[in-house]
Structure 1
């Protein structure tokens, strides 16, 4: 479980997050939604410990993040960022094995390599195993990086998985494959999954709960199918109601 308690974060005197309270539960997939620049990725970075809030605190299983060592955190949570620029000619398999670094002193090279192969297979990327990572398409790279974060928490029950726009480069088939896999792993391993998303239809159909952020303020926390409505979309994204209903109403109802 992740709890955000009164998170405030500013950059250059501009407040990005304002008094954020939110709880993210094990076994559930929770979406963070909102317009560009609303503070979604900043909140995700605060929740992972990559950014330190100006005020407030983040609790992981009831314990303040600042009381975890980097090694402890690396085993309790994995993070998939929006951008993962790698220009060196690592193979896809080598990228995924990097997720096993927290276990390098206690697991054999062979066992870590086997877990990397299993993770690649889960994300439908086993055939990319020996390809040079920089030569892969954006969608292929995204699947390989997803395999990397899965390998990082492979044997962990109740870990946290943070995903920032994990489907942005994927085609429709792989978008739904990834979200189906996320839901399955959350349920089976009691993962706390937090996803920053722009695709409202995907969030509606493939996440359990959601929060909306606008101008640093957060609201929501209920079920996605109750909260993602034409009314809310019009308000959060500053759209005329007729466009919100026209663009999303029929899809969401289906």
Structure 2
């Protein structure tokens, strides 16, 4: 379980996150939703330890995030950022194998290579194995990077998986393939999954719980199929109620 307690984060005197309280459960996919600039990615970075909040704490299984060593964290959580530019001509397989770095001293190269291959196959990218990563399309690169984070927590149950806009560059087929895979791994391995998303229809259908953020403040939290509705969407995104109903009413609860 992840617990965020009173998280506050500012940049240059401007408050980005304000008194955030949130809980993320094992075996559940929880979406962080909201407008551009609301603080979604900043919150995700605070949850992973990439950013240190000005105030408040993050607890993993009841233990303060900052009490874990980097080695321990690398074995219990994996993070897919919005962008991870790679300019060197690593192959797709080499990129995925980088996810196995925490195990380089206690697992053989052959073992780690096999897991990298399995992860590539799982995300429908095995055929890209020997391609130079910079030559891949944006969607192909995103799938390879997703395989890397899956490889990082391959052997571990009840790990933490943080995903920041993981479907942004994917076509429709691979959007659903990736989210179906996340759902399956979440159930089978009791992962705690935190995912930043913009697509509310995907969030409605593919996540268990969600939090909305607006201007750095949490606006509610609960089951996705209850909270993602035209009234909440209208408030969070400053849309006229009739437009929210027209745009989302066919998919979402009233």
Q: TM-score, normalised by structure 1?
A: 0.99
Aligned-partner SS, 1:19: strand
Structure 1 counterpart of 2:179: 179
Of 163-172 and 215-224, deviating more is 215-224
Q: Does 1:167 align with 2:167?
A: yes
Find the aligned partners of 2:190 and 2:27 in 1 and give their Cα distance. Answer: 4
Q: How does 1:90-109 map to 2 (within 5 A)?
A: 90-109=90-109
The CA deviation at 1:251 is: 2.6
Aligned-partner SS, 2:252: helix
Q: Does 1:13 align with 2:13?
A: yes
Q: How does 1:1-80 map to 2 (within 5 A)?
A: 1-80=1-80
Find the aligned partners of 2:23 and 2:242 in 1 and give their Cα distance. Answer: 33
The CA deviation at 1:221 is: 2.5
Q: State the aligned residue count.
A: 254
Find the aligned partners of 2:219 and 2:134 in 1 and give their Cα distance. Answer: 39
Structure 2 counterpart of 1:224: 224
Per-residue deviation, residues 212-249 of structure 1 (Å, max 9, x unmatched): 00000013331100000000000000011111111111
Aligned-partner SS, 1:9: strand
Q: Which runs of no fewer than 5 residues in structure 2 stay unpaired?
A: none
Q: TM-score, normalised by structure 2?
A: 0.99
The runs of at least 4 aligned residues of structure 1 exceeding 3 Å deviation read none
Aligned-partner SS, 1:170: coil
Per-residue deviation, residues 78-124 of structure 1 (Å, max 9, x unmatched): 00000110011000000000000000000000000000000001100
Aligned-partner SS, 2:30: strand
Alpha-carbon RMSD: 1.0
The CA deviation at 1:17 is: 0.4
Aligned-partner SS, 1:179: helix
Q: Does 1:124 align with 2:160?
A: no
Per-residue deviation, residues 176-201 of structure 1 (Å, max 9, x unmatched): 01011001101110100000000000
The CA deviation at 1:9 is: 0.4
Find the aligned partners of 1:180 and 1:29 in 2 and give their Cα distance. Answer: 11
Find the aligned partners of 1:57 and 1:251 in 2 and give their Cα distance. Answer: 36
